[in-house]
Chains A and B, each alone.
Chain A
Amino acid sequence: MKTLKRKDSEYEIKKGRILRTKEITDLEKLFEIVLPGGENLNHEPGQFVMVSLLGVGEAPFSVSSSPTKLGSFELVVRNVGKLTNAINRLKAGDEVGIRGPFGNGFPVHILDGSDLLFVAGGIGIVPLHSLINYAIDNRRDFGKVNILLGCNRPEDMLFSDELDEWTKRLDVNFECTVDRADSGWKGNIGLITSLIPGINLIPERTFAFVVGPPIMYKFVVAKLLEKEIPERQILISLERHMKCGLGKCGHCQINGIYCCQEGPVFSYDKIKDMRESI
């Protein structure tokens, strides 16, 4: 067997230097990452990157920062396995490998003038955070902005500083609910679906963005359809465990399509007949 050294393989990684980390909850940690020369990641909200720690592995992560943030980008990593455990031990100054961005993100270029309804369940706020901040940074371009967040418990809420800020802003309506809480919690208790009926919206000019655990989609989509939001204006990000990001390895395949190529963001009309999607 002969070996040829390469410089331009599609598996080449860029060195990402960790500028800053922040523990957000017991499980989740935020990483601000700079590419060599401060190059912009140049992603769309909803796209993902493959993050490597050589010797441990590589996995897909949603970019949580908006592309309006230049010079660096952010990831939120939940410690659930071998690789995420190793990443969560990293400190400012350490390096990770970055490939991407990959996939189709949210279609920001078609949203001008539309009302935006964000529905985030749990860690689903991470990919949506990118689009929410994009919308806030370009607030004039959009109509009404509603953000709904559902979490297991109050202490599971990510980006709590920003949630306070969204609550205070007059140009954004933010509501949240938790599945269960102790007596200290003054907010809503119940599933995220309970927040949707109360939202006042004009369905034909509304785009809904739904990200959460797989179990959430069917129920949330049903509520949005009750509100008569058109199927093509309901945008969903599907989680799959991509191994290559290049439409080859097969792990992210949903029926006939590769989530890493045609997704991870899909409009509901595209996936409703794909039986393995949600």
Chain B
Amino acid sequence: MVLINPPGERLVGMEQYVVLKKRDFNDFIAAVTREQKVFAPVAKGYNQYAFEEVTSGNQIAIDYIPTILPPKKYFMPQYETIATYDTSNGQNMESVMEYEDMVLFGVHTCDLAGIQCLNIVFSQQPKDTNYLMRKNKILIIGYECNSYCDEYASCRLVYNHLPNGGYDLFFTNLENGSFIIHINTLIGEELVKKIKIFKEADDSDLQMLEDLRERKRKIFAKNEVPIEHEKIPELFDKVYDSKIWNELDKRCVACGNCTNVCPTCYCFDVIDEPNLDLKTGRRYRRWDSCQNEEFAKVAGGESFRSERGARQRHRYYRKFSYSIEKFSRSFCTGCGRCSRACMAGIDLKETLTKLVEEQGMKNPDAGYRG
């Protein structure tokens, strides 16, 4: 194993890289599945992909566009039992944590960023201990996008077009018949050592990675929305009363697709489900959506975001304003899922561009570093 400075943008000291021949990829996945369950992107019909359990490398759609649901479904399951109860003799409940030991293969940099956002939210006091225990059961293998997945992505705008950590191993397809793999954690290193199929990366492999990243800098040359990343908070300070929200009000059908597919939307409801004996049952959490009118309703019937435009605005502010104030981080990862999934054709890039233009903040070369 060679120890060298990384070829990426982030120079963080000594880094470890190994190489895997593409023809050995199936053997690699097969070897991992002998150790643990493996979940990876699988093709689901025309241009649709989903993370699912795989038992062989052949099932994996390695060059996929963002999956229908992001990998958040493994970190905060859509339905999560948090307690079981038995009321035959009073209010007796036992809290539980559901988890799966797994290897999650093929996570794009946008989705790695999404997982980092969830980690931040759930580790803020008061902590969500179920989430924090579960996330450590998942080994994450990232996978680099060598160019844009499609026109909906805006990963450059939020600096997620290049890896920013959050993985144990990270695969890059060198397009020469090999993957180069960054080993980021001891857990990742142990997996590599256990599966004796990798070879040390040499200087030419690292040079190829350097060249690939250089090509990417040209492909992702400018922000997808004509505004500098640093100006986004200023934009959102100005647009609370924008008429653009009224336009969204007329188009949005309040289906909640955008929040379900968002890698950083984490709102939930807590629901009791009795068994047929009506004595025992479970309490579970279920993904919820601020786009439903019921979401912000109180007992007296008042709703604090009764207009669809106000609910869409809330969604955008949660991604680009509140999260920056609170966590110094964009909660939009640039994955483009909300735009792909919107039945009314509400497009994040288009909405942001309109807001930018409305405020006279348009900079067509935003992000360009020459």
Contacts and interface: CB of A to CB of B under 8 A. Distances in A.
Interface of A: 1-13, 15-16, 52-59, 78, 80-81, 84, 95-97, 213-215, 239-241, 243-244, 246-251, 253-256, 275-276
A11 B323 CA distance: 25
Contacts of B269: 243, 249, 251
Contact of A15 (B90, B124, B266, B298): B90
A78 B128 contact: no
B253 interface: no
B272 A54 contact: yes
B299 A246 contact: no
27 contacts: A1-B98, A1-B100, A3-B81, A4-B99, A4-B133, A5-B95, A6-B129, A11-B82, A11-B270, A52-B91, A54-B87, A55-B272, A95-B91, A96-B91, A97-B91, A97-B93, A214-B298, A215-B302, A239-B300, A241-B297, A243-B269, A244-B268, A253-B296, A256-B317, A256-B322, A256-B325, A256-B326
Given A55-B87, A256-B326, A2 B99 contact: yes
Given A54-B281, A58-B283, 11 more contacts: A6-B130, A9-B83, A11-B283, A52-B93, A54-B91, A55-B87, A55-B278, A58-B272, A243-B269, A251-B296, A253-B296
Contacts of B278: 55
Nearest to B86: A54
Contacts of B83: 9, 11
A215 B301 CA distance: 12
Given A11-B95, A54-B283, A249 B129 contact: no
B126 interface: yes
Nearest to A94: B90
B256 to A, nearest CB: 13
Contacts of B130: 6, 9
Contacts of B326: 256
B159 interface: no
Nearest to A84: B299
A54 B240 CA distance: 41
A275 B321 CA distance: 14
A190 B342 CA distance: 49
A208 B89 CA distance: 45
Given A52-B91, A241-B298, A249-B269, A10 B128 contact: yes
B126 A254 contact: no
Nearest to B323: A256
The interface residues of chain B, by DSSP majority, are classed as mixed
B296 A243 contact: no
A53 B305 CA distance: 28
B317 A255 contact: yes
Nearest to A260: B126
Interface of B: 81-83, 85, 87, 90-101, 121-122, 124, 126-130, 133, 240, 266-272, 274, 278-279, 281, 283, 288, 290, 295-300, 302, 304-305, 310, 314, 317, 321-322, 325-326
A102 B304 CA distance: 21
Nearest to B322: A256
Contacts of B297: 241
B74 to A, nearest CB: 11
Given A95-B90, A251-B267, A276 B305 contact: yes
B272 A250 contact: no
Contacts of B127: 10
Contacts of B270: 11, 57-58, 243-244, 249
A57 B267 contact: no
Nearest to B295: A251
Contacts of A254: 304
Contacts of B295: 250-251
A56 B91 CA distance: 12
* B274, B281, B299 pick with most chain A CB within 10 angstroms: B299
Contacts of A78: 299
Contacts of A16: 91
B97 A6 contact: yes
A240 B296 contact: yes
A241 B299 contact: yes
B97 A3 contact: yes
A16 B266 CA distance: 31
Given A240-B304, A243-B270, A251-B267, A5 B94 contact: yes
A9 B268 contact: no
Contact of B99 (A1, A56, A246, A255): A1
A240 B298 contact: yes
Contact of B302 (A214, A251, A255): A214
Nearest to A276: B304
Nearest to B326: A256
B328 to A, nearest CB: 13
A255 B278 CA distance: 39
Given A241-B299, A255-B317, A256-B325, A249 B267 contact: yes
